[in-house]
Chain A
Amino acid sequence: MSRLLAVGCLLAILAAQAPARGDTGASGRIALVVGRHSIVDAVSQDTLRDVYLRRQLLWPAGIRAIPVNLPAGNPIRERFSRIVLGRSTRELVSYWNARYFEGIMPPAVLPSAAAIRAYINAEPGAIAYLASEDVDETCRTLLWLDAGQP
């Protein structure tokens, strides 16, 4: 309970800070990150697609998989959506509407890279993506997505 309160307070502070970068950074790379103590050691692009489309709800260890998104319209999110999910955020609206009727909701959204870093370090089943410049020592990078990918 105290952990949740601490995370809630931290997120409230971080949400007021600057939003995530509006581009993929100088290198154009997107990092798939988890917290330092995450139970997730490796992830493939295929697994990412299943987790972010909520087709895979569990990690192999039996812990719930919790994907995290940046807000709709964020260029990093749009690029991630195109590369990994094969469709834009707008094109996925009908997909998520269909999943609504199974009681399955889209990934949670956090407003900034700082909020994402705080959350993935509090939640061992969480996974997120960040611009390379937003990755710091609090994150563990599992995969890089390059600008040249489709």
Chain B
Amino acid sequence: MLIASARPAGATDAVEDPGSRLMQVENGGYSVPKLPIWLGGDLTVQGTVPQSGHAKLELDDINLLVRYEPLPRLSFFSETRLENTVTITDGKGPELDSSDIFIERLYLDWLATPHLTIRLGKFLTPFGVWNQIRRAPLTWTVERPLVTENTFPEHTTGIGLIYQATLHGWSIDGTLYGPAQDALPLRSSTESGVTLVGSRIAAAHQIGDAYLTVGVSGGGAERRQHAGLQPMAGADINLSWAGNDLLGEFAYARSPEPFVDDDWGLYLQDSYPLFDSFYAVARYEHFRGFDTGSVDAGLLGFAWRLDPHFIIKANYQLTTKSSEDLPRGFLCSFALFF
């Protein structure tokens, strides 16, 4: 099977000939000639030098993306992840890990109207911003904020209704999902046994030279061992202005246990170009968990986007309570998509 190679160039500078069946894909990836199939992928290598414990370097994950559009109204999308592959630990040398294969996303989209999509399958829970842009090549920091991975299930398996339209210059995105389980029954998951319903609505508009997006999310999660739907709610803001990319989120989830603290947290992060594609990054976050108590963390670092497809990050993280999810110390990674 012949596959047309894409130019590993900037996101917008390739020239495509739509009259040819051997199409080059402008923003990376590969299209299969004579078939409406697109292939892409990414990989991440992450290094950690914690204040206590061993330094390590790991091939964090490799993802394969496939999109198939057999009809104008119908498309299929899958993301398959290979994780836990190789780790090199200071003093121990290289180790081959379990190399788990994980179905990250698997869904079909039916375009019911130009503005309404019906989605069936497993997809990223549309709660807040970070959970949907979580890929390492898209984010400015090595680790994601705790509130974006502990407050709500990261995946949803079921049905989603997605509305996208621009009205009087406002870009509106609305999503309804559920009733849905949180995981495909292909592999045990820390999210197993949760049923979700929820919605998210976001609006974006240009304000002078700035571009502002605000969103609210809400929903409920029913855990197998606990009766009743536990409410979740969140709000987020993203402001692009004068080179800054300011991002903030708040999320809350009621505890399923009586007399146990609710989950809630927030973060505020900014990146700013010091020169060309070299950015300074700063973040503050606070999180209070069902069983972890309260933690505050601050992060300072750099991100060097050598190419739209390739980013190198270096962060120093301070925290009041170091853990595997929120280590205190130096973190670095490089990530690319192809």
Contact = CB atoms under 8 A, between A and B. Distances in A.
A47 B16 CA distance: 24
Interface of B: 10-21, 25-29, 38, 40, 42, 65-67, 72-73, 75, 77, 79, 111, 113-115, 133, 135, 137-138, 164-169, 171, 205-206, 211, 240, 245, 308-309, 337
Contact of B26 (A47, A86, A105): A105
Interface stretch (A27-35, A87-95, A137-145): A87-95
Nearest to A61: B114
Interface in A51-72: 53, 55-60, 62-66, 68-69, 71-72
A65 B115 CA distance: 12
A119 B19 contact: yes
Contacts of A107: 26
A53 to B, nearest CB: 8
Give the interface centre of B25, B67, B72, B169 by most chain A CB atoms within 10 Å: B72
A64 B72 contact: yes
A58 B73 contact: yes
Contact of A97 (B16, B77, B137): B137
Contact of A8 (B11, B17, B113, B167): B17
7 contacts: A11-B20, A46-B167, A55-B171, A58-B114, A94-B245, A97-B337, A100-B337
Given A58-B73, A59-B114, A122-B19, A93 B26 contact: no
B79 to A, nearest CB: 8
Contacts of B40: 100-101, 103
Contacts of A16: none
Contacts of B133: 98, 101
A-B residue pairs, 6 tightest by C-beta: A103-B67, A86-B206, A72-B12, A46-B166, A7-B19, A8-B19
A131 interface: no
A56 B115 contact: yes
Contacts of B27: 96-97, 99-100, 105-106
Contacts of A69: 12
Given A7-B19, A86-B211, A105-B25, A97 B166 contact: no
B326 to A, nearest CB: 25
Nearest to A101: B135
A73 B26 contact: no
A64 B21 CA distance: 17
A14 B194 CA distance: 57
Contacts of B114: 50, 56-60, 65
Interface of A: 4, 7-8, 10-12, 15, 45-47, 49-50, 53, 55-60, 62-66, 68-69, 71-73, 86-87, 89, 91-94, 96-111, 119, 122-123, 150
Give the interface centre of B11, B245, B309 by most chain A CB atoms within 10 Å: B11
Contacts of B67: 102-104
A45 B12 CA distance: 22
Contacts of B167: 46
Given A56-B165, A103-B29, A108-B16, 13 more contacts: A4-B19, A8-B19, A11-B19, A46-B168, A46-B169, A55-B171, A56-B114, A65-B114, A97-B11, A97-B308, A103-B75, A110-B17, A122-B19
A12 B206 CA distance: 38
A66 B135 CA distance: 27
B77 A103 contact: yes
Contact of B11 (A55, A58, A64, A96): A96
B250 to A, nearest CB: 21
Contacts of B169: 45-46, 86
Given A56-B115, A93-B12, A101-B65, A108 B26 contact: yes
